[in-house]
Amino acid sequence: MLLIKKWHFFILICKIEGSITWKGWFWKLIHSKNVENDKLFEWLCSISVQFKFAFLITDPNHQILYGNKAFTQLTGYSIKDAINKNIRFLTGKDTDIEKFNQLLNGLQENQFAKEELLTYKKDGTKIWSNFLIQGLYDDNGKHLYNIATVTDITISEEENSIEKFNIQKLAYTDYLSGLTNYNYFIDRFNENMKQQKKGFLLIIQPAEYINFVDSFGKQQLALLQKKIGDRIEKTLAHLETIVSRATEGSLIVAGFCEEHLIKDNVELLLKMTKEPMFLNEIELFVSVKIGVVSISYYNGDTDDLVRLADIALSQTKKQAGNLIVYYKDEFGIELKKRMEIQNELIHAIRNKDITMYLQPKVNIVTGKVESFEALARWFSDKLGFVPPNVFIEIAESIGKIQEVDLLVVEQVLAWLRSRKERNLKLYQISVNISPSHFYLPNFIKELRSIVNAYQIEPRYLKIELTENIGLVDMPRAVVLLEELRGYGFESSVDDFGIGFSSLSYIHQLPVTELKIDRSFINQIHEKGGSTIVRTIIQLAHNMGMIAVAEGIETEEQLDVIRNLCCSIAQGFYFYRPMPIAQIEEILENE
């Protein structure tokens, strides 16, 4: 059942057996418990929905306030069974009670504790569980909640086989909506194109999907997309189709038919919006935007065809309501501009025209520069200044991001060597490495070779990765980061907190720094905003990591993070990214 309630919305996914009276009962319980810091509670609940391990929120006395779906699956207890029970109710006659008490007492002393314990399911089955418990505190040091993860470490051979099957299934399934994903679409479409089929490819998006997410959340958007996908398949049942989820807000559809029938078939999709859709008993009339391209534009590259449909979709944003736009050659101007940037970028990489700027990280206690982040910048003679978000994305798409990363690394090392030769102080510099580069088989070998060539100690180079690095291949990420640490490199997780899976894997990664995403800093003065930032800082400190606040732009923001015990900050309040010459002047004056 989905319970939606909070100032504008409150989302909590619960798997409940029984009657609908549970909805009112649970909300009454939450208020009777006088749960503080609702925004923090909501955030913890929302990110736990997708966790594959059991997740609990308890009060300081270990009374259970919330459990996720994985908890009910692991233990057999419904949420209603668990709510208001002490977490000790999971023990049994063979549980080491002394160890369990040590776990909870250790939490009180250190705010962080872990233990492997024998516990019991509702039906009496014994399970060995790995408990990890963290205390959360408010700005005044008041103990608000405990969060606990419980992982089953007694996996049978049958369960292992099921897990392997599920992993294979996940490669082609969007876990939120249950629809097939973009990878599935590309593979199926390419198979069909071997037979040189005719038809159309379209991208369809609810017109108000951003407002929908703000009102109901991403999970409900995914359910809405599933309903739209089902209607598309029903509406175009007379055609061979492929319907998949392309992005958070859109579906991608291929329909195979004769060229002259494309328009008639696509326009059938507008008729399906005349009937309302029901989502948790809420009646919704959904208008859609559709960008269409004929398969006659197919040149052997499916991604290019998708891009044309996306260009057509962008044209639909200029008008309100239901709208279909068919791709025309004149829409390709944007594509040509992209190709121009792409070609110039290749020359810039070859000529080493990508330059390194540095942005200081400042110790807010001393006010002095602590370290730096290296950032790629490109000033083209032909195009002028090209924003990094533009050329980095293009470099990723054409497989050139490794070369961009290495150009920055080499400039960092060259500057460090220059300072070393002048007997000047060396500073640690963070270098952004893209996930596609990080997972290359020769990444670490090549990195070590370059560092050795410049005769710089690895400790002066920090590898900065985005927080989704663990979602690509967690076991491989852990191995690579451990290997880097063994060679003396430190690692950092950038933009921490914006991905729903952050808490589910961060404790597994051997990193030394968490960079709090600027979106949390921007909201730090809103109700509950500072509590979330404090929680991330506490997590970093309890795991032996440094917390860095990104995007500090005002003195008010600086005062808040100083009070939250975050000692390192970065942002325009202190310094913008600057070329080496300006950095040298700053360091000379310190």
CATH number for position 47: 3.30.450.20
200 and 294, same domain (yes or no): yes
Average pLDDT over residues 138-148: 84
Note the pLDDT of residue 332: 67
User: Which of 196-205, 216-225, 360-369, 373-382 has the least mean pLDDT?
Assistant: 216-225
CATH code where residue 538 lies: 3.20.20.450
Q: For residue 569, give every residue at least 6 positions away whose Cβ sits within 8 Å of its Cβ, in sequence order, or none.
A: 361, 362, 364, 548, 549, 550, 552, 558, 561
492 and 558, same domain (yes or no): yes
pLDDT at 2 over 70: no
Residues 318-359 have pLDDT tens digits of 677 789 999 988 776 766 788 899 999 999 999 999 999 999
Average pLDDT over residues 366-390: 95
Average pLDDT over residues 199-220: 81
Q: What percent of the chain has pLDDT over 90?
A: 51
User: Which of 269-273, 360-364, 434-438, 472-476 has the least mean pLDDT?
Assistant: 472-476
Q: What total of structural domains would you count in the chain?
A: 3
- Candidates 503, 557, 392; CA nearest to 149 is 503
Task: Specify the 3-state DSSP secondary structure of 434.
Answer: coil
Query: Of the residues 283, 311, 327, which one is the last residue of a structural domain?
Result: 327
Note the pLDDT of residue 402: 95
Residues 18-31 have pLDDT tens digits of 332 333 333 333 33
Note the pLDDT of residue 504: 58
pLDDT at 294 over 60: yes
370 and 514, same domain (yes or no): yes
Residues 95-104 have pLDDT tens digits of 999 888 888 8
In-domain check, residue 193: yes
pLDDT at 151 over 50: yes
In-domain check, residue 59: yes
323 and 183, same domain (yes or no): yes
For 527, the token pair is: 């109700």
* Most confident listed range (6-20, 44-58, 343-357): 343-357
In-domain check, residue 265: yes
pTM beyond 0.85: the answer is: no
303 and 400, same domain (yes or no): no
258 and 401, same domain (yes or no): no
Residue tagged 């809103």 (tokens) = 526
pLDDT at 502 over 70: no
Average pLDDT over residues 204-212: 78
Q: Could you tell me if 465 and 438 are in contact, meaning their C-beta atoms sit under 8 angstroms apart?
A: yes
Higher pLDDT, 358 or 524: 358
Alpha carbon 496 to its chain's center: 9
Note the pLDDT of residue 170: 64
433 and 579, same domain (yes or no): yes
56 and 194, same domain (yes or no): no
In-domain check, residue 135: yes
Q: Which residues pair with 148 in a beta bridge?
A: 56, 133
In-domain check, residue 220: yes
pLDDT at 158 over 90: no
In-domain check, residue 161: no
How far is residue 71's CA from residue 146's CA, in Å, rounded to a whole number? Answer: 16
Average pLDDT over residues 414-432: 97
Instruction: Give the range of the structural domain holding residue 26, as residue numbers without chain letter.
Output: 2-154
Res. 12 pLDDT band, cuts 50 70 90: very low
CATH code where residue 220 lies: 3.30.70.270
pLDDT at 289 over 50: yes
Task: Specify the 3-state DSSP secondary structure of 188.
Answer: helix
* Most confident listed range (77-86, 123-132, 241-250, 354-363): 354-363
Note the pLDDT of residue 583: 97
The CA-based dihedral angle spanning residues 503, 504, 507, 511, taken in that order and rounded to the nearest 10 degrees: -80
Query: Of the residues 154, 181, 199, which one is the last residue of a structural domain?
Result: 154
321 and 380, same domain (yes or no): no
Query: Of the residues 327, 345, 374, which one is the last residue of a structural domain?
Result: 327
How far is residue 169's CA from residue 162's CA, in Å, rounded to a whole number? Answer: 10
In-domain check, residue 444: yes
516 and 406, same domain (yes or no): yes
Our CA angle for 67, 71, 72, nearest 5°, is 100
* Most confident listed range (165-174, 316-325, 574-583): 574-583
Note the pLDDT of residue 388: 94
- Helix and strand numbers, DSSP H then E, in the chain: 23, 23
In-domain check, residue 349: no
pLDDT at 232 over 90: yes
How far is residue 62's CA from residue 60's CA, in Å, rounded to a whole number? Answer: 5
The rounded mean pLDDT for the chain is 84
115 and 219, same domain (yes or no): no
Res. 468 pLDDT band, cuts 50 70 90: low
Q: What percent of the chain has pLDDT over 70?
A: 86
420 and 565, same domain (yes or no): yes
* Most confident listed range (233-242, 466-475, 491-500): 233-242
For 488, the token pair is: 């003396």
Q: Could you tell me if 184 and 244 are in contact, meaning their C-beta atoms sit under 8 angstroms apart?
A: yes
